[in-house]
Amino acid sequence: MINRDLSWLSFNERVLQEAKDKTVPLIERMRFLGIYSNNLDEFFRVRVATAVRLIKALKGKDDELATRTTEIVADIQKRVIELQGEFYATYEKISGELEQQKIFIKDETQLNEEEKSFIRQYFLKEVESLITPIILSNIKKFPYLKDKSVYLYIAATKKNQKKLQAVIELPTDYISRFVVLPSNDGATNIIYLDDVIRYNTPYILSIFEPQDIESYIIKLTRDAELDLDDDFSESYYDRLNKSLLSRKKGKVVRLVYDKEMPREHLDYILSNMKMTAHNNLIPGGKYHNFRDFMSFPSLGRNELCYEHVEAASHKDINEDKPLLKQALDADVLLQFPYHSFDYVIDLIREAAIDPKVESIKMSLYRVASKSKVIKALKNAARNGKLVYVVIELRARFDEEANLEWSKQLQEENIHIEFGLRGLKVHSKLLLIQRRSKGELRNISLISTGNFHEKTATLYGDSALLTADSRVADEVERVFQIFDKPYLPNNFEHLLVAPINLRRGLYDLIDQEIRRVMEGEQGRIFIKVNNLVDEGMIEKLSQAASSGVKIRMLIRGVCSMVPSDNIEVRSIVGRFLEHARVFYFGDETAAKLYLGSADLMTRNLDVRVEALTPLYDPKIKSEMVSYLELQWSDNQNSRVIDSSLSNKMYTDDLPECDSQIELYQQLK
């Protein structure tokens, strides 16, 4: 098996390849650098932090495993430093290409008199009130430096020749990292906020009359793990609040610093932060926190950005007829971001005012900061509907937002459940119960992605809208798990973790093995974000050894080593491939499922997940065409192999960008 963490770094390398790709619009390439950096931050906050804690826990108890884990962390650091070199080389190339487009990134040493005057005034009006230098020389205890923030470390000499050391946090939560300078020659000049502060450092520290000023950017990453004890005298809500406060002071697991920083300054920082050279120290360039580059400005240069994609109207949806009634007549397959997420909002809004709707039930993992979904649910409750929401408080990095949403929903007398002890609720389910002609009908939406209108414009996800009782009635039973967990839960159609999902997938794989044994062709096509579960890998390997042809699209982590009868590819393009789809057999006898679960142990065994079968022949045909289209992609697809080479997949067929092609087909 391929190590999970090294496979993840290989995935992030594929993101970096997008920044290198000259067919990607220039400003979008800069934004891909931001995505790469943001991904890496989260990787250290979660995966590396977990490894560091594991090493500490194992010492003296299982020294062999502690040693192996230490070696993995060393391999991670080595690979990250290699990729860091590629990252900065790519940044320099993009900067050079921007200059060819008359877009110049200046630093504080390259300014003319007009620009100097501008950033002086800009600093006084926009920046000064947002910063407070911490004078390290004046305090006994080294200050707490926040995770996700970037700091300017300043060293200077006072007039009396004593050393002066200070740190200033860049206020990027309040103002843009990118400041556009005035220009009269048709060029666009940009200066980073870092350099605006650098230029004004003599003024900021003028009380000390500083000389020989040096400044270097540093950034640290802290352990993001939540420590939730088993004190059930407190509510889970209160314990999570306390744990979030602890997270903000988590152990430092990475320090990124300007490689030009003299050793004496680095040693001073390490000593005061109780770090050593054996920690994850990553030397970098003059600028850090490239995650801000996800918001690199368009600068009015639309030709250097992706062309705007207007969401397509669904060909099978009549805009003049209530969507709820249409769902009762036929299944609908929604493909985001190509179809508008407004269909989901409209569904809830219709249900809120439909006198025949009795209840709305929904599971929420992540929602937008200004969520239309939440607003629609509140309005439904105000209209007298019974609204029942299962909200996952432990959705990583969305815990605080979900705590606030749960509070707001409870204030509207909406029934809130926080899931089940020990199980994260990761399923993406919506259930509307509508009475018609004396019969209560269930209408359900099962999605591969979150009910989050912002990410629905960026992530490639699928959702099934259906009133088929085989599916919708079992969606109702999923919600009963939270309300009445003591009742027996059996599912004939849905595959629900942790009840029958693993066993159901094993059975479907076994069916394909039997086909081969009976002289037929066995085929499996899987599209997920991650494949790391050992049991699933062993089962798929068994199928491949039996002659089953397996094709897989794994966007992120893939611990399985491809072999005979197993082909694995990964698509990284404009949109984040996020759908989870499972296809067994061929078009004549296909079994297809979509839903929320990846092939990770946590998804199969310790989360509440749901996969729905596709029964409607038309929907099945649409999904098969979608999967085959993605497999034909020879523009964004990389081959996953044992060496993690990330070679582009190419063939002799006409160019196929599956994301563009799908959009054209759906228009």
Burial 565-574 (b: 16+ CB within 10 A, else e): bbbbbbbbbb
Computed over its alpha carbons, how large is the radius of gyration of the chain?
A: 27
Compute the CA torsion angle 288, 290, 295, 297 (nearest 10 deg): 70
Contact assessment for residue 389 and residue 369, using Cβ atoms and an 8 Å cutoff: no
Q: 516: burial class by Cβ within 10 Å (0-12, 13-18, 19+)?
A: middle
Number of helices followed by number of strands (H, E) in the chain: 19, 27
Cβ neighbours of residue 91 closer than 8 Å, sequence gap 6 or more: 33, 285, 290
Residue type, 500: N
Query: Is 265 tagged catalytic?
Result: no
Longest dimension (CA), the chain: 90
HSE (side-chain half, CA atoms, 13 Å) at 396: 9
Give how far the C-alpha of residue 604 lies from the chain's centroid of Cα atoms, to the nearest Å. Answer: 20
- What is the rounded CA–CA span in Å between residue 530 and residue 522? 23
Element (H, E) at 360: strand 357-364
Is the C-alpha dihedral spanning 103, 107, 110, 114 positive or negative? positive
List 288, 426, 493, 578, catalytic entry: 426
DSSP 593-639: EEES--BSHHHHHSEEEEEEE---HHHHHHHHHHHHHHHT--SSEEE
- What is the rounded CA–CA span in Å between residue 530 and residue 599? 6
Alpha helices in 107-173 (DSSP H): 113-122
- What is the rounded CA–CA span in Å between residue 178 and residue 16? 21
Compute the CA torsion angle 509, 510, 516, 522 (nearest 10 deg): -20
Sheet holding 188-192, edge to edge: 103-106, 188-192, 178-181
- DSSP, collapsed to helix, strand or coil, labels residue 105 as strand
Contact assessment for residue 623 and residue 614, using Cβ atoms and an 8 Å cutoff: yes
Q: Is the peptide bond before 617 cis (omega within 30 degrees of 0)?
A: no
- DSSP, collapsed to helix, strand or coil, labels residue 361 as strand
Compute the CA torsion angle 512, 513, 515, 520 (nearest 10 deg): 100
Token readout for 378 is 């509140």
Burial 193-219 (b: 16+ CB within 10 A, else e): bbbbbbbbbeebbeebebeeeebbbbb
- What is the rounded CA–CA span in Å between residue 664 and residue 656? 12
Contact assessment for residue 382 and residue 409, using Cβ atoms and an 8 Å cutoff: no
Q: How many residues does the chain have?
A: 667
Cβ neighbours of residue 406 closer than 8 Å, sequence gap 6 or more: 237, 391, 393, 416, 418
For residue 491, give the nearest of 362, 613, 614 by alpha carbon.
Answer: 613
Catalytic residue numbers read 426
